[in-house]
Amino acid sequence: MHPTPRSYPSALALALIGCTGHAHADRPLWELGAGIGTLSVPHYRGSDQNHHYVLPIPYFAYRGEILRSDREGTRAVLLDTERVDFDLSVDGSPPTRSSENTARAGMPNLAATLEFGPNLNLRLLKTADLKLELRLPVRTATTLESHPRSVGWTLNPVLNLDLQWRGWNLGLQGGPLAASSAYHAYFYGVDAAYASVGRPAYEARGGAAGWGLAGSATRRIGDWWLAGFLRTDSLSGAVFRDSPLVRQSNNLTAGLALSYVFKVSERRVPDPR
């Protein structure tokens, strides 16, 4: 699995899509499936309220030379060597209606965001069943609405461990987060027009945004694929910790998915792992 450091903002299909089963000497070029999943995710990091979703889950695996969707995520591989690979990273956040969030009552809604940018992976250790990498994604963020606008950038360096154990693909990754002032202002800033008793005006700064730690497990059993993940986020050391929109310092995110693989290609290719 190749979750981003902030798996919770990606819809479950983004957080879990592309996770595949145990290794083979060669595998189908592509696989298609569908299923259902459930996701519990905070409105935003630091919120004391959660979204709860039940979602259709597409399953798609593609093992091309450049475009790949596999247990390491959906990505365009631009450079792949024994120690270094370079690809494109995607993340995002769900929409939140201010009428459903106590801290943001009366403020503009939060549109969903899409984050996109380069990702450098440095391979620190690799064996038949284990891989340890340092991942360095940098992404720009844009709102998903009728008139999209840029809301800054994020930096999420993480240590990522992938291993196979008794038919399971297990993943663990964690590291610090940082973002620009525009990004923090989008989620944590309070303009004077929306200040109220108990919610003073607040100007967010760029810089540290705390840290996150996520674990995942996936398995292919015949034509069935199942997956789950759990993530904890901390705002310890975050420059926006004193924003009136921050209601708690720690968040938990969890997701489960089950899909049925109904079609695979006749063409087979070497396992890119």
Note down pLDDT in tens along the chain; length 273 residues.
344 434 333 444 444 443 333 344 577 778 889 999 999 999 999 999 999 999 898 887 776 555 555 555 555 555 566 788 888 888 889 999 999 999 999 999 999 999 989 999 999 999 988 999 999 999 999 999 999 999 999 999 999 999 999 889 999 999 999 999 999 999 999 999 999 999 999 999 999 999 999 999 999 899 999 999 999 999 999 999 999 999 999 999 999 999 999 988 877 776 655
The DSSP line for 94-153 is --B-GGG-STTTTSPPB-EEEEEEEEEEEEEEE-SSEEEEEEEEEEEEEEESSS--EEEE
Model-level pTM? Answer: 0.83
Q: Which has the closest alpha carbon to 107: 182, 181, 50, 190?
A: 190
Question: Which CATH number is 12-270 given?
Answer: 2.40.230
Q: Strand 224-234 to strand 26-28: parallel, antiparallel, or no bridges (unpaired)? A: unpaired
Query: What is the model's pLDDT at position 44?
Result: 96
Residue type at 5 in one-letter notation: P
Query: What is the model's pLDDT at position 21?
Result: 38
Residue boundaries of the structural domains of the chain: 12-270
| Distance separating alpha carbons of residues 170 and 1, to the nearest angstrom | 8
CB-CB contact of 98 with 107 (8 Å): yes
The dihedral through the CA atoms of 177, 182, 10, 101 has a sign that is: positive
Our CA angle for 90, 153, 47, nearest 5°, is: 85
Query: What is the model's pLDDT at position 128?
Result: 85
Rounded to 10 degrees, the C-alpha dihedral 76/53/51/173 comes to -40
**Three-class DSSP labels, 184-208:** HHHHHCECHHHCECCECCECCCCEE
Identify the three-state secondary structure at position 95: coil
Query: What is the model's pLDDT at position 3?
Result: 40
Identify the three-state secondary structure at position 175: strand
CB-CB contact of 39 with 80 (8 Å): no
Task: Give first-to-last CA distance, the chain, whole Å.
Answer: 12
| Distance separating alpha carbons of residues 150 and 209, to the nearest angstrom | 19
